[in-house]
């Protein structure tokens, strides 16, 4: 550990290290995995209309093919809780750094594989099967990524800066989505639709390879946030983290799930589904929709460290509650503006919805880390976070498209956000403020 860290006694025989200075490796360690994960997931969502043609029989039923594409998108999220349990168990038993290297490697391999898959026109339904298989590998890997990164950064951060530093993990998520949006925006600007369908869609998936290699290099150089004495002796480590989590920390797990509900619903509606909505309902071109999403991501990225800093200054609870209320109030009018065929107003509406999502993302990981002891922290964050991702994350574009198709109401996706906002606002009210506190070891 760093020589200027302070070791303090914790409950029982365990000790914990309270960092007193910022290790310069902490921010890149948390940032890079989230960049790779959300770049990989983002390009799939942004290319949904193209992938529906490439991997599914879309000639007779374009809506059905798009629904199948989003269903495949959602399939990865069904396996995220499993990934959270597996990698969380390993991370809480054997330390964070080695497991974080494994998650980024798995994610990168699966994404590059998608970029090399044969298409429906080449092998028929087998193409869709292979796509689902690759998405499942992505889902398991991503289930272990963010929870571990959040635990690592929190454990290596001084209490007074934990909110700001943990926001960088989620900044990586938005940065990854931004890179995906830029890549797709450039492709749609320079290639024709036929070129995109023929070969252009493969390019952004293959670009995941250099991102993943950089991430592996960073992760392999990490000093673990769990002490060497704990790893060698097993002292302070849980033998069965998931069982201990459910037995002793169920309220914290449920709060993680409740707060993550709006975080995931908001992320995948505002930053992923909105692009499809602007094209299908707003009547905008694919290029205009991608530029709107890219602008929203830039603004949200710039705002996120500020929200993390404000969480250190004002506390976790008021920012989380305020962001949830803002979502609930703004969702319906923002979607009404996005449907009025005025691009400037639609762009502003998407940016406005992106700000409360940025606030949620910037604050939650410090909050989650402070709710769990180190014995189950990786598993607790990963499981609660990924249960929400399975319920309303990857399914969000599918739910929005289904609501729109079933009701014929262009505002239906907004009411989905309102429902998620009610759940997360209610959860935020139950929180105990933890700003500036030392992390628990047991």
Q: Are 244 and 375 in contact (CB under 8 A)?
A: yes
Average pLDDT value for the chain:
85
User: Which among 152, 369, 151, 359 is positioned nearest to 256, based on CA atoms?
Assistant: 369
Query: What pLDDT is recorded for position 301?
Result: 92
- The terminus-to-terminus CA distance of the chain in angstroms comes to 19
Q: Are 366 and 167 in contact (CB under 8 A)?
A: yes
* Cα 381 → chain centroid: 12
* Coil, helix or strand at residue 18: strand
DSSP 222: P
Query: What pLDDT is recorded for position 429?
Result: 97
Does residue 180 surpass a pLDDT of 50?
A: yes
Higher pLDDT, 295 or 226: 295
291 to 96, 183, 275, 323: CA distances (angstroms): 37, 11, 9, 25
Query: What pLDDT is recorded for position 330?
Result: 96
pLDDT tier for residue 4 given thresholds of 50, 70 and 90: very low
Token pair, residue 108, equals 């990168």
Higher pLDDT, 209 or 48: 209
Q: pLDDT digit string (tens) for 8-35? A: 444 443 445 555 556 677 788 778 888 9
* Cα 404 → chain centroid: 24
Higher pLDDT, 196 or 255: 255
Q: Is 162 left (phi over 0), alpha (psi -120 to 50) or beta?
A: alpha
Beta pairing partners, 15: 9
User: Which among 277, 263, 306 is positioned nearest to 393, based on CA atoms?
Assistant: 263
The helix or strand, by DSSP H or E, that contains position 170, with its residue range, turns out to be helix 162-190
- In this prediction, what percent of the chain has a pLDDT beyond 90? 36
pLDDT tier for residue 434 given thresholds of 50, 70 and 90: very high
List CB contacts of 66: < 8 A, sequence separation 6 or more. Answer: 48, 49, 52, 58, 276, 401
Span 69-85, average pLDDT: 81
Query: What pLDDT is recorded for position 354?
Result: 96
pLDDT tier for residue 442 given thresholds of 50, 70 and 90: low
Token pair, residue 145, equals 């990524």
Angle, vertex CA 222, rays to CA 30 and CA 369, nearest 5: 45
Place of tokens 């000639």: 59
Does residue 2 surpass a pLDDT of 70?
A: no
Neighbours of 1 (CB within 10 A): 16
Q: Could you give phi then psi for residue 313, rounded to 5 degrees?
A: -90, -45
Q: Could you give phi then psi for residue 15, rounded to 5 degrees?
A: -120, 160
* Coil, helix or strand at residue 17: strand
User: Which among 33, 80, 67 is positioned nearest to 393, based on CA atoms?
Assistant: 80
Higher pLDDT, 427 or 80: 427
Span 190-215, average pLDDT: 90
Q: Are 107 and 37 in contact (CB under 8 A)?
A: yes
* Cα 79 → chain centroid: 14
Q: pLDDT digit string (tens) for 382-407? A: 999 999 988 887 788 788 888 888 89
Distance between CA 172 and CA 175 in Å, rounded?
A: 5
Span 358-364, average pLDDT: 95
Span 282-302, average pLDDT: 89
Q: pLDDT digit string (tens) for 316-346? A: 999 999 999 999 999 999 999 998 889 999 9
Question: Would you tell me the crossing angle of helices 80-94 and 97-114 to the nearest 10 degrees?
Answer: 150
């Amino acid at each position: 550990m760093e020589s200027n860290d302070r070791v303090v006694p914790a409950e029982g025989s365990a000790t914990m290290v309270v960092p007193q200075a910022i290790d310069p490796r902490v921010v890149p360690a948390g940032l890079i995995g989230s960049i790779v994960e959300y770049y990989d997931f983002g390009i799939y969502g942004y290319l949904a209309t193209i992938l529906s043609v490439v991997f599914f029989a879309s000639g007779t039923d374009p809506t059905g093919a798009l629904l199948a594409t989003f269903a495949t998108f959602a399939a990865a999220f069904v396996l995220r809780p499993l990934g959270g349990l597996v990698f969380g168990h390993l991370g809480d038993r054997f330390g964070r750094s080695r497991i974080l290297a494994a998650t980024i490697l798995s994610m990168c391999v699966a994404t590059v594989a998608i970029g090399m898959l044969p298409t429906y026109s080449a092998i028929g339904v087998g193409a869709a099967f292979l796509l689902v298989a690759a998405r499942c590998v992505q889902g398991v890997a991503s289930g272990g990524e963010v929870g571990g990164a959040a635990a690592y950064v929190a454990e290596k951060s001084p209490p007074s800066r934990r909110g700001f530093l943990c926001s960088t993990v989620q900044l990586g998520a938005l940065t990854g989505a931004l890179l995906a949006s830029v890549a797709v925006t450039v492709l749609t600007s320079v290639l024709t639709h036929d070129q995109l369908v023929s070969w252009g869609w493969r390019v952004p998936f293959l670009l995941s390879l250099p991102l993943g290699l950089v991430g592996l290099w960073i992760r392999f150089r990490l000093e673990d946030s769990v002490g060497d004495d704990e790893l060698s002796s097993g002292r302070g480590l849980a033998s069965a983290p998931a069982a201990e989590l459910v037995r002793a920390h169920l309220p914290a797990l449920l709060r993680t799930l409740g707060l993550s509900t709006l975080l995931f619903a908001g992320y995948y509606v505002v930053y992923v589904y909105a692009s499809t909505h602007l094209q299908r309902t707003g009547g905008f071109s694919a290029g205009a929709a991608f530029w709107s999403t890219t602008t929203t991501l830039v603004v949200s990225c710039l705002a996120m460290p500020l929200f993390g800093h404000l969480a250190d200054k004002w506390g976790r609870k008021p920012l989380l509650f305020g962001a949830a209320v803002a979502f609930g109030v703004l969702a319906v009018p923002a979607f009404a503006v996005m449907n009025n065929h005025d691009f400037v107003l639609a762009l502003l509406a998407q940016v406005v919805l992106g700000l409360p999502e940025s606030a949620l993302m910037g604050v939650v990981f410090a909050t989650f880390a402070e709710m769990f002891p180190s014995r189950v922290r990786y598993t607790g964050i990963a499981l609660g976070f990924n249960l929400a991702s399975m319920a309303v994350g990857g399914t969000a574009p599918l739910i929005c498209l289904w609501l729109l198709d079933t009701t014929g109401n262009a505002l239906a996706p907004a009411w989905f956000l309102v429902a998620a906002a009610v759940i997360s606002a209610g959860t935020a009210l139950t929180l105990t403020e933890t700003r500036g506190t030392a992390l628990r070891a047991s």
